[in-house]
Amino acid sequence: MKWFRIIILLFSLALFGQRNAFAQKKWILDQCINYAWDNNFNIHTSELDVKIRKTDYQQSLNELLPNISLRSTLNQNFGRSIDPATNSYLDINFFNNDYGISSEMTLFNGFMKLNTIKMQRLNLETEKNKMKQIRNQVAFDVINSYFDVMLRQGLFTIARENLQLSSKQLDFTRKLVEVGKKPGTDLLETEANMAADSFLLVQSYNLLDQSMLGLKYQMNFPVTDSLVIESFTPSIFLESIDTFSMEGLFRVASGALPDLTLAWNQLLAADRAVQISKGAFSPRLVAYAGWGSQFMETNRDEFNKIIPYTNQISNNSNEYISLALEIPLFAKFSKSTSLRKSKLQYQKAKIQYDDVTYKLNMTVQKSLTEWRAARAEYESSLSQLARSREAYEAAEKKLDKGLINIIEFYIQKNKWFRAKTEVLRTGLQILLKERYIRFLMTGSLLSAE
């Protein structure tokens, strides 16, 4: 049993020492978040979506410009054909060539283009807010994994200290048993407790390793590379959270977070879509302008010679300008259907906006309530830790004097162990809740901003 205890202890300490040996750089939480932002595939995809929306918005502006086109045709006529110069039939082969440039510009179409510009601008802002949401979710995942690693590191340290205490107690109990001051059953109980603590240490190390792997996954960090985090994460608040009100925090969060802004932009974009559908019923006024000219082999002078190419292009030049008014009368009810659908989409966007508003309000209230609960648990755990430590030290003295048995001593020791783990857990929980409340206030999950 002695060699088993030594092997387990050395194995556990070696694993802990090996982890520290690789600590060439300690990553703070903000560095982990920034690394995840730079390497997350969903964020890269969202950045491309923003660029696509920006292109759509730019194109909606371009739609205000006129259409301009240039044409040129070459014709070789065979057999009976119409002479383009005299518009009479000819039975000879001849060649002709014409050029033209034309332009078309919509002057009025029920403000559809202007409403499309506004809608595309809102869609662009919506896509930007979606990217912010994705970045926030990535940061949340990293933060939760980071705090889980800190918790597992703390539990590993507590388990290691607990094993060291058990080792000292085992040596002390063995000496007393050897001189006959303690029964052999106490030694068996101590060895069993030592084995349980050794198992707990190995288990806590494995959980720490798994949590570190989870953090690497959230960061998209190379699995085979070493990652060591800074275990100390101070509070990021300089003022008391108790001064915050539900209403005040909700107002601040409404402007700081992208959620409500995104839903509002979607509602406005849906309203613009309704206006675009209404514009389809409006008359359309279009301006046309153009220039054209041509060369014909049949175009000859009084000496029956073909008039030179440049002269014909100059002489045959013609220009035009016109206005056209188009009034839609019937399009198989497609415009009416489009209008009904856009109105339904607007109602849907309104419901989504109300839903986001309600959920954000509930999130604010929940965050403050959870922070107050976490603080109360932390203060209670500190009191419990102080009392359990006193009880453990008193039990240790009573055990030395033979006033209690070994089982009663281990009951107090385990209570002290659980108290230390609760202080660790509740302390990290407060830091996590503080960071989230700060996020509601500023819209940032970084400590430095």
Tokens linked to 20: 């520290």
C-alpha pair distances (Å), 38 with each of 15, 43, 50, 146, 221: 31, 8, 16, 17, 11
pLDDT score of 3: 42
Strand residues in 307-424 grouped as ranges (E): 318-326
**Tally of CB atoms within 10 A around 437:** 20
288: its two tokens:
């046309």
Q: Which CATH number applies to 24-65+109-283+327-442?
A: 1.20.1600.10
CB distance 253 to 364 below 8 Å: yes
Please report the pLDDT score of residue 233 as a whole number. 61
Query: For the chain, what are the domain ranges?
Result: 24-65+109-283+327-442, 66-108+284-326
The domain defined by 66-108+284-326 carries CATH number 2.20.200: yes
The whole-number pLDDT of residue 82 equals 76
pLDDT at 230: 87
User: Beta partners for 106?
Assistant: 286
Q: Rounded to an integer, what distance in angstroms lies between the CA atom of residue 167 and that of residue 398?
A: 19
pLDDT value for 7: 43
Low-confidence ranges of the chain (pLDDT < 50): 3-4, 7, 14, 18, 21-23, 238
Q: Which of 276, 225, 229 lies closest to 118 in space, CA to CA?
A: 276
Q: How many CB atoms lie within 10 A of CB 23?
A: 12
Mention every residue, 6+ apart, whose C-beta is less than 8 A from residue 227: 27, 212, 215, 216, 219, 221
Instruction: Report pLDDT for 54.
Output: 98
Q: Is 304 exposed, middle or buried (CB count within 10 Å of its CB: 0-12, 13-18, 19+)?
A: exposed
State the pLDDT at residue 47. 97
CA atoms within 13 A on the CB side of 371: 22
Residue pair 158/201 in contact (Cβ under 8 Å)? The answer is: no
